[in-house]
Structures are given as structure tokens and as C-alpha cells.
Structure 1
């Protein structure tokens, strides 16, 4: 869609309790895929394979976060075999979960669900994680991150190489739950198209008023506030400060004013730029390289689940796909000293994010466009990336996609 048209539009491994592994509509009987085969699929092929799994996962997770919180550990997508494993501390609650999923989405295929035992609920593990983060010295001299796995077996604490440990390497018991400590290769860093114009969309280069020699971060979620329809463009909170005037990246001797940074949410590493005085936002995202970019519509937003695959559209990288979700609930401290919470993914054959990608949209392909998952927040040079989730960000501010 041309920019003028966009403006017009904007203005107007536990024991399985069920039988054989199920087959998704896109998976022939007996077919299995390796991770490498899924990563190499086109986005459209990934959607055909994973779409039914994502749909039923959304139905289950909506119940697990509320009505089933006392016994819901999490869930994991298994695109290799075409199933979704739901982990419950009380597997006798399986029928209640199935019934809730059917009520939530009558079109979701619950035959794709498999159930397994989770040792602890996600609610229990999240509470224990807060205590570990409040008293890190019980584990090590410095903690890099703490993850809650979907299987519910305990907390995973990561420390940088050379960090002195004060707890057994694996597994230790803290605050009533098992805690496994692992060492990672050094520390990562926060991740930050060129001179964009209204309507403002995701994937564009951003700078602050006091920065004019290069881009520093990327725009992510084009949004509007529900109660007054005011427009906002959301990026990462660690990039700028509340009250900053935000501009596009420089090009041709100038840059364009996007708006004033009105709100920050540190837990979700999100910053809302009020664009109401400069122009509307539109639910599209830049993709491709810095100088040969294309754009595509954003079609809704959902959570990311273990086993899923995503892409990201940070300005530096342009577009990176084949990122495998392996940590659906991770908490860490960013470069600004603030605790952030989100999702972790790994790209086995390259680097998923680079400096300047921060705030960029994380998404997955659907038949109608790109489904938003969140904002690039953190990455390391060895293939790991973390993002905060669009559902949490928009919900916290009472916003929707533009």
C-alpha cells in the first residue's frame, strides 16, 4: 500500500496423558519436522503448520492465566509433531481446561492438546522469582535473568561467566521451589528505516531531540488509546526518557518530528510517544533492509508460547526470522537498571537482533499480514533475543492497535 493511501486509511517431556500425537491440517499423517526444517519454511508455510496450534494455545492460556491460575504451569507448542502440551499441577483438571478452551474459541481444535504434569503452577513460580530477584545474593553475586519454564519444574537462573555463586549449581531449593543456575557467555546488551513520515508505523528509525547523527532505536507498535482514540507510537523504554521529543532518523539533511514521549512502563520496557500533534499512527510495519524496505499490515496481537517461531523488524537488522521461542516467561535487568519481563527466543543460524533494533516489532506471519508479538528489548551476540509482549503493553495502557 502506498504511503498516501495509508494516510487516507489512517485518517478515516513429561508423561503424555492422551494417545497418539495429533496431526495438524497442514501435517500429513505421520509427518514430523525438525527445527531446522521449520526455521527454513516460508512465513506462509509456518502459518499453515503453526496456526492451528497457536489458536488452541490462545484459548487455553486465556483460561490458565485467570480461572486456572492455581494449577496451570504453562504450555508448549510442538510444531515438530503438530501438538500443544499443556502442563498442569493437577492433571485431573484436564476436562475443565478443555471445556474452558471450547467456550473461549469454538473453532479451536482441542484434539491438538496433550496434557502433562507440571510440578509447580506458574503463579507459584512467578512469586518465587520475585523473591529471588529481591535477594540475588542467595544465588550469586550478580543475576543476569530468571525464567519461569512452561513445564513448571522450577526456576532457571542465569549468571554471567565469572560470577561467584553462593548456591549449588543445580538444582538448589529456594523459596520452596527448585532453582537451577546456569552460566551464559558474558552479558548481552539492549537493542536499539530511516526518515519515516506520517502515518507513523512500526519498524522505523528513531532518535531523540538531542541525537541527530544516527538512529538509536526503532518504532514498534502503532497504537491508539481506547477512551479517546489518541494516537501513540510505542518503542522501548530503555531508549529514551519520559518527556523527550522523538524524531525519525536523519536523512537528506533533516529528520521528522514524531511526538513527545508521554508514558513509560519499565516492566514491559515500553515507551508511548504521543503523535496526536504530528499525525496518526497506522497498524503497518516496515520490513526489509534500511534502503530497500517494504511494509506490511499488522493483523492483531497475541502472546508468544514455548515452541513457536517469530520474526523481528528492527531498523538495524531490517528483518530477521527463524527465531525459536524457548523462554516464554523471563525477567531480567536492563541497561537502565530496570527490571523487564518478557519472552526469550534463539536463532541457531545467526544473530536475531543488533544495536538499534530496540523497540522494533516482533511478529509472526498470518494470512492477513503480521501478528504482533511485542517489542525487541535485549539481545546477545550468540543468538538469543528477548522481547516484551504486545498484549501486556497495550493492556497496561488501555490501548489497541491503531
Structure 2
């Protein structure tokens, strides 16, 4: 079932509101376009042609994710690249849905939107996929899972399709899925999958990513602060000053180009790589890690507990602050001032290559507060594993010296 919306007057109204470039794009050829044709366009031309569709799709997604999540399945650009398809489990709700879109984004041309029948809501599909991927007793690994655009199937990319099919054909599993009206599965083989991780971060760059080159499986240094200048808007990735020199080109351990070192402040053991950034940090105890938002900054107090996220150590917590802002240590002939903490329960608190990585406070389950960047370790052995303590340059020292803030603020 489909709701067909008359477009003539909607388009006329939109023409009065849209920018001239968008109007020109809509007023041009109305012939359908193929994906190949769109792919061959320059990015600028794509932006012109797809602008009204993208605006409509974004508004649809906002409504579908909020006021009408009860019927919303998915949104897609039409395969003709002249329309937008919104999949709803109840197409009779289409008129009300489009009214919500108009209220949310009055400038959007809702005449471009076709309402198409969906099988299940996005919330229902998300719950099913989560139930599948969170299981730890499966005789196969799921590399990727996602629903078809109409919600009629769930696609599973797995390492062993035969094992997956046999598992879902097991009488007890099949019965449970039938009773739950589970969405049909489409199983394909994963031909090789790896997480995009802090080993090979890409723009916009985050804190706690591995900066190359790599020595013996360890990164040379770790990214520390995704920043932006308060005076000219240039974006920076901050790491320890002893890691590189001005003019050096820096790469992630995995090979992605990060950017060039433009400034260095050896008195605070900090340097500044010009590159796009965003205020997240890599976290987690494995190489892949996950990301957490940086919700703010502060300098720590004595007896406070912090964590350090240097790439080679991953996550080390229960670092008890002994000196707050008044510790000093030597780096390349300079006396660096900052804070110092010890591992409260002993053990390795830092490793070579952690330098530049963030010292953070976990003040929220889903975000982190930045305290500074790692500079120095004590009690280190020949392998540069340090059990005495770790020192860091306080975040406000860096912010005030180089006039930066978290990007975006």
C-alpha cells in the first residue's frame, strides 16, 4: 500500500523558500537518476541535486526517532534520486506523520516524500538485533547485523554461514523464533572484518589514538586533546611535546595520515598537530576500544583518583593524585610542571608510548572529563613499563598557554 502525495503546490511553495542553488537543482531535469550517475557527479553537484532529498530525509528521521517511533521503520532516498521513501508500519498514519515533518522542518518539501509500508518499527528491530548480537553462546561470530530498509529481514554477516543456518534450524531455536514472530534472517559470509579502531584513527581525530610509527607492537605516542583555537578557529590534535618536532608529518599506527606538527611548547611538553578533531576519546582495554564524549575539563586535586588512557596501556585507573599542579620533571632540558599520581593498588601505571594520552576522570557512565595529558613515568624498567607513578601536564596549563578549548566547545 502506498500513499501518493500530489506535489505541484508543495513544490511551488518550497520554491519560494529554498536557496537559488536548490531551486535550480529541483527545476532541472526531472528524469530519474541512477546510483551510478549520482556517484559520477562531483561532490558539489551531488550536494546540489540531493540537497532537498537530504533535508527531507533528515526531517523524517527526526520525527521517526521521536514523536512517531510507534510506526517508523526507516527512511531512504528513492532509487530514482528524485524522491524520499519513508517506511511506516501503519501507512494510514502517513498524513499525520508528514504533518509532523512539516512542523519539525517547515522549509522541507514534503511533496518529495512517499509513504511506503514497513514490516516492523525501528525500535522492534533494534531490540531483536541487540538480543542476537549480545548472545555469547552462538557457534559463530557476527561481524555485522542490520535490518533491510523495509524491516522485512535482518541481515547477518557471519564467519561460518553453515553453523549459523544449522543453529537457527535447531528445533528449539526455530520454535522460539516462531513464537516470538522473529524477523526472518538473511545470512551471508563475512569475507574478513575488523573494527576501525584507535590503531588507525581517521578524521575527525579523537584523544587516545595510537600515533606512529610503531615499535615492537607499541605506538610511539598517543593523541591527547581534540582542540580548536579560541582566536582563529584552527583545529588541533595535542600530544606530548617530546614525541615529534615542528614540521613532522604524523601518521596513525595503522597508516592513516593525521597531519603536520605546526607548533611546539616544550616548556609544557605539548605540541600541536593541525588536523580536524572532535571531542571524543578512545576508551576500553582492547585495541579496538570504543569512544566516549569528553564532557568537560578540570585540573585534579590531591587525593583525587584519575585514569590514564595511553594507547599502549589502554586503561589504567585508581591513580591517586599525590601532587596537583606542583610536581616537576625534566624533559629535553626543560623543567615541566604538572600533576603526579601513583597506582593506588600497585602494578604498571604507564608504558612507553602512552605519552600524550589523556588523563581523565570518569564522572559519567557515557562520557569523560579531561584532566591533562601524560608526560612522564617513574619506576620504569628497561621495557619502559612504569610502576612508580605517572605525571601529566594539566589541561588548563595547555589551554591557557596556547589559547585552545575542546573542539567543539
Please, what TM-score do these two structures have when normalized by structure 1? 0.50
Structure number with higher relative contact order (C-alpha < 8 Å, ≥ 6 residues apart): 1
Which protein is bigger by CA-based radius of gyration?
Answer: 2
